[in-house]
Amino acid sequence: MAALLELWRQVKDPRVAEVLDTLSARITRPALHAPTQKKLNEQFVALAKAGDPLDQPRLAAVIGTTRSPQMVEQIECLLECWPPDPRFTLPLVELLKRPPFTSGTTQSAWRRLFKLMQGHADPRLLELLSALDFTQLLRQHRTELQGGVEENQFAAEFFTERTAATLKALEKTYRAGTPSLPAEHEPMLARLHELLRPGTEAELVAEILEHPHEPGAKEVLADHLLENDEARGRFMVLQHARARGALSPELAREERDLIVAHGVRWIGELAALVAHDTMQFVDGFLAWCAIDSDRVGVVEKLTGHVGWSTVRHVFLEGTAFPHALLVHPAMKSLTGVSGIREGRQVLQRSDAYPWSRVGIASMGAFAHRDDPDLLATRLRRVFPQVTSLTLPGYNFTVDSYHWLWTPPFAHLACIGFSSITPSALPRWLEVLLARAPAGAAIEFSELDHLGYLVRIDKTRRVLDLRSRSVWGRRTARYADLALLAAPLTGTLATIRVHDRLAKSERMALAALLAPGGSITTVD
């Protein structure tokens, strides 16, 4: 909505205004209600000053429902606080067709209404205002108005005069013709019109899977689902709240409950391969999952399935590397693959994979036969776009990865290591804090035995810890993780944990904080 409004303000193409009107009709925020007109006006002014474009429909609905002094205050507030917005055009023209009051004492309200129209300068007004015959309109409407024929005739003359003045100003503004978007925007406009046509849930989902990066398409689906009281519509609302950082613990629980209840149905045929307890969604669609890559027949059957189009990251739980599945054009959003257990075979391929996030769980014979420098060369060739790299710590020492501190890897935003024995972790952390590229995050994880994830953002001095509800056959205790992070003692601004903390665990972690630091629990 905000992007389209900004585009309209730059060009004022009537077709963009029509799209905005259609989108606004889908907004479901409750109408403003108050016991008195004074209270109603206070609500109106507060929302107008806040400037949320999604509040426009309920603001427009108030204008004309109060006495004229309140209408003056409302429009004055819009003139002062609300930037040009074509969504006011149709409601205000309808208000002119059936004015709630027409006496001479109300002219100040109508003058401001015409001033608002002229200021917003929607070119559609050239046609809409020209079609208004106030003498006829008020004759039809006069039985609903106070005053007699003479007063209504006087009002018709006033409205006609103000309309003529407004049209004259608009004609001067658009003397060169109605504005139109540059040619390069035409496909986008046509696509928006196609997306906004009425459709079934299946059609809208198919549209999104075909064009997963289409702006606004998922919002259209969410609106449609909410109108039909579908659980996925509510889920998408919660996902949008999470993206804005506005998801309370209660809403987060509701979000998880919806995934448990409906997630398998939402991913359809992919449920035959995806580990159900690993599903993560973004904007209501599958974005992260683990798959059993050893189920070769199922992998082959689902290779090229349209459902993969929104998946951004795949974790391989099997030992096989499903090359055909991962590089298929159906993987339109895939940017990361981790859990690769056939690292040696993958790095010997002639392919170059375009992923930015890569996790290799096992190097196989690389740990014993190959030169680490050769490993570095092959990593750069096979994963040329990688910015987040996780490597196995088992059978390696931290010094084996000396090449990570060389210029070809200085661009890494995250360096991770898996399967490091807990007793060795403090040494690894100490070396990485000293040598890792400036600004790079550091990550340690144990996937098989002792379940934990430790992530350090050196720049922001943030430590993320995850335990209990992760991968391992046993659970790492937060007190143990605090010991492993001992090199960070007294330096952290924030510690974020992903499970509940016992009092003793909180005390152990608190020792890692710098003065004024904090511990927070996140979902």
351 in any annotated domain: no
pLDDT in tens, 233-253: 999 999 999 888 888 888 988
Distance CA 362, CA 419 (A): 9
188 in any annotated domain: no
**Whole-number pLDDT of residue 154:** 81
91 in any annotated domain: yes
425 in any annotated domain: no
Mark which of 173, 208, 236 sits at the end of a domain: 173
Q: Which residues of 102-127 are buried (b: 16+ CB within 10 A; e: fewer)?
A: beeebbebbebbbebbbebbbbbbbe
What DSSP letter does each residue of 364-417 carry, written as one string? TTHHHHS-HHHHHHHHHHH-TT-SEEEEE-TT--GGGGGGGGSGGGTT-SEEEE
Mark which of 144, 173, 202 sits at the end of a domain: 173
**Whole-number pLDDT of residue 471:** 47
**508: containing domain:** 435-523
SS (H, E, C) 29-55: CCCCCCCCHHHHHHHHHHHHHHCCHHH
> Model pTM?
0.62
**Whole-number pLDDT of residue 150:** 60
150 in any annotated domain: yes
296 in any annotated domain: no
Number of domains in the chain: 2
**Whole-number pLDDT of residue 371:** 67
Query: How many CB atoms within 10 Å of residue 263?
Result: 20
Distance CA 312, CA 283 (A): 12
**Whole-number pLDDT of residue 475:** 64
Alpha helices, H only, 51-148: 56-60, 68-81, 89-97, 107-120, 125-130, 134-141
Mark which of 147, 173, 199 sits at the end of a domain: 173
Instruction: Give residue 339's region: left, alpha or beta (phi > 0; psi -120 to 50).
Output: left
Given a cut of 50, the residues of the chain with pLDDT beneath it are 143-144, 367-369, 469-472
229 in any annotated domain: no
Distance CA 449, CA 454 (A): 15
Polymer length in residues for the chain:
523
285 in any annotated domain: no
